Structure 1
Amino acid sequence: DITVWDLHDRSTWELVLPSWETQSNATVHNLFIKGNYAHVSYYSDGYVVLDISSPDAPYLIGHYDTQSLWGCYPYLPSGLTIVSDMNTGLYVLEFTPGEVSPTINHSGTPDVFNNDPVTINAQIVDNGDIIEANLFYRTTFNGTTSSWNLVTPANQNSNYQFTIPGFQHLTNIEYYIAAQDDYGYVVTLPEGGSGTGPAGNLPPSQFFSYSVVITGLPVLHSFTPGGDTTVVVNSEFDIVVYAEDTTGLELIYSWKKNGIVTNETSNIYHYRAFQIPAPPRTDSIEVTISNGYFSLSNKWVVHISPATDVKDNEPVLTYQLEQNYPNPFNPETQITFSVPSNEFVNLSVYNLIGEKVTELVNENLSPGRYNINFNGDKLTSGIYLARIKAGSFDRIIKMILLK
């Protein structure tokens, strides 16, 4: 082995490093210092160059193997080094300083959508032999972080495969990869780790990570209106969807009108049939519901007809729920609706969490146009939904009580 002493004070020898040796524990024949490098005849391990810029932590920087290296001489004017081997003769070598250490390549792992084991692939290369490769991982779940766990690889040539066990939903896994070569050099990826027994047992400060998110599509339970609908110009109504995610993830709502993204981000879209472009025409309304990983969508086509004055003695030809007036209101407002045939009609008012606050109509009605008064004097200020059901007609409007 090699011992390092500090001789700045020639009267006192200070031991800096008691021992440094190769994996094979070969015999040191002679050693020469040139700059920040130690040139060593390491007998059966050949010609070895160490970087000694940090005397207490020398590391291998160059190596050329012969069978029985007996001596080396690095001081030729040309900068070349001559080495002699008892069996194979004289060699002339050129030493160019450079890192001779394992190199690990790995690009990380995306989020995982099941609890199956995860295979981590890494490429580890070295000028010599890799004698040990490891993966260390730890988990965090519900705020509790585990200790580091060791995984050894299955490998073929320089391609290594590490298998991390599967974990439950919303578990976060951090990991790093370590390798040690046949001259004792240890590297980790991400960089910064060290240690031996096992190699890389002292972790770096940064890690690769992925999360386990076990989820499916959001579930769309119901929506109103139930399909395409026809309204007159200047009509207003709410399109409402009721959805959930079975794994409890928050749902994100994105609405488009005629292919253009709107500012609506809730499960309610307030639609108004504007006068421009002039009717008759159609608008398309589309909602995309996402849990951050998967999504689904639904689409409505709204047919807009020109406005007509409905007189009391004129027949009603279509179902309609008009926007209440006034709106906002305090405390009373009028809700107007039309039914074109004898129909059982229910008109109720709900708050935003789906609780029914009052039932205004619940009976059979003959064809016609109806005005219903709604009094909110016993309610708090806020947004309320008026919903009408008449046969297959199902419509909601948003009303604002402002006290």
Structure 2
Amino acid sequence: MKKVVISFTFLLFSLTIQSQIVVTQTDIENHLQIGNGILNYSDTIGIDVDIGTPGENSWDFENHPFHLEFDVDVVDPGSTPKADLFSSATHALITNYDVGQNEATSYTYLIIEDGNYGEDGLYFIAGVSSSTSEVTIENDPPGNILQFPVNYQDSWTTSHAKITTTELNGVPISNTEAEETSSKLVDGYGTIVLPDGTTEETLRIKIEGERTVNGDTEEILSFMFITRSGASLTAVADDPNGSDNGVIQTEQVNWNYGNGSPSSVDKIEELANDFVLSQNYPNPFNPTTNIQYSIPKASHVSLKVYDVLGNEVATLVNEKLSSGVYNSKFDASTLSSGIYFYTLEAGNFVTTKKLSLIK
């Protein structure tokens, strides 16, 4: 009898371990491939959030309200304004903002290599009236985001200096240095329903941080949920000394997702009655064609192209779209002549059509 109990206990232990995902460097690199597009949402109005408890959980953030939305492009850092300053960066994220009647752009410099994922720094430039404001943030060493592979119950501590320089019309007007430390513990695992309704396996990371400037120390408590697709959600607690379980008041919630190439999506009409995928036009084509589709309600939309062997050759759309009729352009300049298939997925709707490339 004792032998049976030991075997059964081992089986339960094995099943528990198998239910915990491991997030690898490859997972994040796939999410942040050069040329990919990411949607970033932010809520800064302090909404209550149920962060669950340490251990196994099911989290539900469906329909969480966000009032800020940004499109982010992943680019080669060598093509950006501060390439020389952040020469060690392997990836850069470009985000454009509308600031009243003015525009602003931020460049976030990332390093993903040797089992580490960190932020090397940030450059922000904005035009205000006839002036140009620039902010450059350097992290020394790069600020740690993740250490790979990320497993349940992993923990690590990091620290770095953050140097912020502000310029107005090219003239430095301020320079500050902060010391930042953080202790991270992967204290939870399970499933998460993201704000767009998709469900993924996730790990929860509890992050306890400190930021010291001129002798004044600010404490920060946040909870980061990461998935193998690269989608992540971070809740910053309003009370840095608050609980690590149950419902908490948040200061900010950020959510990002998307691992498809940025697409040229044109909205033709505001209203649509049904899910419809139209035949591409022209067809046959060389080298570009248009694909029109209708989305009757806000949905996460995926439009991908496959060859006859079922290999994915292009991602035209991978983002949440509102109701409407859309047109996406497919450029097959790098592909060989032949038959291809394009598939539209939106909510529970899935359909496929054939197209012909003749060069």
Query: What TM-score does the superposition give when structure 1 sets the normalisation length?
Result: 0.23
Indicate the structure with greater helix content: 2
Tell me the TM-score normalised to structure 2 length: 0.25
Larger radius of gyration: 1
Higher relative contact order (CA 8 A, sep 6+): 2
More strand by share: 2
